[in-house]
Chain A
Amino acid sequence: MSPRSVHWFKFSSPSTFYPVAGKISTVSAVIAVVLIAVGLYMSFFVAPTDYKQGEGYRIIFVHVPASWMSMFIYVVMAGWAAIGLVFNTRLSAMMAQALAPTGAMFAFLSLWTGSFWGKPMWGTWWVWDARITAELILLFLYLGYMALRSSIDDPRRGDRASAILLLVGVVNIPIIYYSVQWWNTLHQGATIKMGEQSSMDETMLITMLVMTFAFWAYAIAVTMARVRTVILERERTTTWVRELAMGER
């Protein structure tokens, strides 16, 4: 075994990861606050008014990064699930579990802001646009994962069952996305082109990137904080958690 892999497996143990997660969480939280402040300032005051869509377009600075994050987090969860199934490591399942609420939140945020954007642009709160529909299905997938997770009492069965579900989901997402696209073009439904304006201003692009990084930092901070509570809950019978609790008392 190479020294590298020893190192890696050392951090895959919940007891070693617990303090590391705490540090990562704090650092990311600070970064998130700074970036969100900068990003919001830029979206409201620096980015120019869109000549076609006016001021309402500014919601895309939240909408687009949130959509990206919701998709990305699902793939990351599936990655953790695969690692957990192959190597039987407890921490990977905990990571997937900790990521899920954040992913679901971003999916919901994306739908919410999409609907807010739709009202002034199209005059309705909901448009059966391909991307919004796909996002809705993604939210269903998140909810299904969390529902399965919470209805299995035995943590080991819960880990493995929900990991299988995640992998099935990640195989299906491209098919779902493609079929929804097909359905949408066939019915000539509304197509919203967000963030694809004819002239994407450079400051708009930078603002969007800042917001994306801010969401990244937020997701990491929240996930790490959540994984710490998951670790404590799952490992409550072990000696290291007992010692930790005694020390903090």
Chain B
Amino acid sequence: MLEALIWIIRRDLTIAMRRRADIFTTLIFFVIVVSLFPLGIGPELDTLRLIAPGVVWVGALLASMLALEQIFSADHRDGTLEQMLLTPQPVSLLVVGKVLAHWLVTGLPLVVMAPLLGLQYDLSWPGLQALVLSLLLGTPALSLIGAIGAALTLGLRSGGVLLALLVLPLYIPVLIFGAGAVEATVSGLGGQSHLAMLAAILVGSLVLAPVATAAALRVAED
């Protein structure tokens, strides 16, 4: 059973490596969105330092949401998704594999890139650490929760926009604790409790979201 999980991750990673351009679009989107804010608000470092956690987090959230649409759509189009539903493997396990591969390709680069963007906003060293840590805990949760929305909107006309409408409200707790962790660290309060909440959300969504996603995929292939 675990073999199937490993193979599905390997398969998706192999495919992603063979079309590398897709990885960079998400990352570039993230960089552009975050760079837009100083242009809209003004270059005063005091203001920027204040909004840095929120801006970087919202940017990461939007980027990971945009990438979500692709998580099942290719498999849906070429028929591999219906085959996945017909294997003796538990579908939720295969979903975990797909989400994990998707996160490694689209989420992890965001985490790696975030400190550079934080520097643009003159974030302090502890703040940068908290930013990376919070994104490391938060973005997988975003991918897991978002996968439900991606499965529900699979093959629908207004897929992308609808996906945003369904998923963004569910992202709010992750955003609050994620940006909150950075902010609390910067202001010297310590972000541990925020990070603990993020970890709890990650565990909770790891348990529940794949089940809901599997159910949604069955409905979508009906």
Contact = CB atoms under 8 A, between A and B. Distances in A.
Is A–B contact present in the complex under a CB 8 A cutoff?
A: yes
Interface of A: 137, 140-141, 143-144, 147-148, 151-152, 156-157, 160-161, 164-165, 167-169, 171-172, 175-176, 178-180, 182-183, 186
B173 A179 contact: yes
Interface in B202-221: 204, 208, 212, 215-216, 219-220
B212 A137 contact: no
B172 A171 contact: no
Interface in B168-201: 168-170, 172-173, 176-177, 180, 184, 197, 201
7 contacts: A141-B169, A151-B156, A156-B222, A161-B220, A164-B148, A179-B176, A183-B176
B87 interface: no
B18 interface: no
* Chain B facing A: main interface SS: helix
Contacts of B19: none
Contacts of B162: 147-148, 151
B222 A180 contact: no
B185 to A, nearest CB: 13
A21 B148 CA distance: 34
B195 to A, nearest CB: 13
B152 interface: yes
Contacts of B204: 175
A18 B30 CA distance: 52
Given A137-B169, A144-B166, A171 B208 contact: yes
A144 B169 CA distance: 9
Contact of B222 (A160, A168, A172, A178): A160
Given A151-B156, A151-B157, A168-B170, A161 B216 contact: yes
Contacts of B143: none
A180 B180 contact: no
Given A148-B153, A156-B222, A164-B215, A140 B169 contact: yes
A186 B169 CA distance: 20
Contacts of B157: 151
Contact of B176 (A151, A169, A182): A182
B165 interface: yes
A163 to B, nearest CB: 9
